[in-house]
Homo-oligomer: A and B are copies of this chain.
Amino acid sequence: MTSNTRPGGRTARVRDAVLRAAGDALAEHGLAGLDLADVARRAEVGKTTVYRRWGTVTGLVADLLLDMAEQSLPRSDTGSLDGDLRANARLVQRTLSDPRQGPLFKAVIAAATSDPRTAAALHGFYDTRIREWASCVELAVRRGEVPVGTDAHEVVRAVSAPLYYRLLASGDPVDVAAADRAAAAAAAAARAGIFVRTA
């Protein structure tokens, strides 16, 4: 293990500082306000280091999403599908209504609508998070709470979807009541066998 890769080493500290600065800038000004030189200044890191390591704004956002997926909390294990999905919904709700994370997600999602590399990084983020939480549903299948053949990923997507719809489309509040309802609806549909894979 070299000092370059050791967690907490200089390379890791530079990455932490740069990604924190990038997240701050994104949350404040959106993607249009993101500039590598400004991020370097905020992070107190040399401009050439930032350009050499991340290259472009898109490269920086992709690495930020990778870091967010890595840093995200492990899934809960409450012992029941209802409890686990509610914990998942409340985590998503807290993230989307957080004064820093909410604007950051909005900015990245907006950028992903027109930039394929940002879209790929965003899809990778959700893929990681959905896989992390899918095991709740697999355990629920083993406990006999939901039918064999239930698509665990689809159940987890169903928990998040109503919260993102409120944030991005309808503008309804992303509150705890909405989170609990999203979790309960996904669990009820799963119990009814709606997410059983066909064919």
| A interface list, Cβ under 8 A from B | 30, 32, 106-107, 109-114, 119-120, 122-123, 126-127, 130, 154, 157-158, 160-162, 164-166, 168-172, 177, 181, 184-186, 188-189, 191-192, 194-195, 198
Would you mind naming 17 contact pairs between A and B with Cβ atoms under 8 Å apart?
A: A30-B113, A30-B114, A107-B113, A107-B114, A109-B110, A126-B170, A126-B171, A154-B181, A157-B170, A161-B162, A164-B165, A165-B165, A181-B195, A184-B189, A185-B194, A189-B189, A192-B192
Question: A185 touches which one: B112, B164, B185 (CB < 8 A)?
Answer: B185
Chain B residue with Cβ nearest A188: B192
Chain B residue with Cβ nearest A111: B110
* Contacting pair B162 A157 (CB below 8 A): yes
Chain B residue with Cβ nearest A163: B161
**Chain B residues with CB under 8 A of A189:** 184-186, 188-189
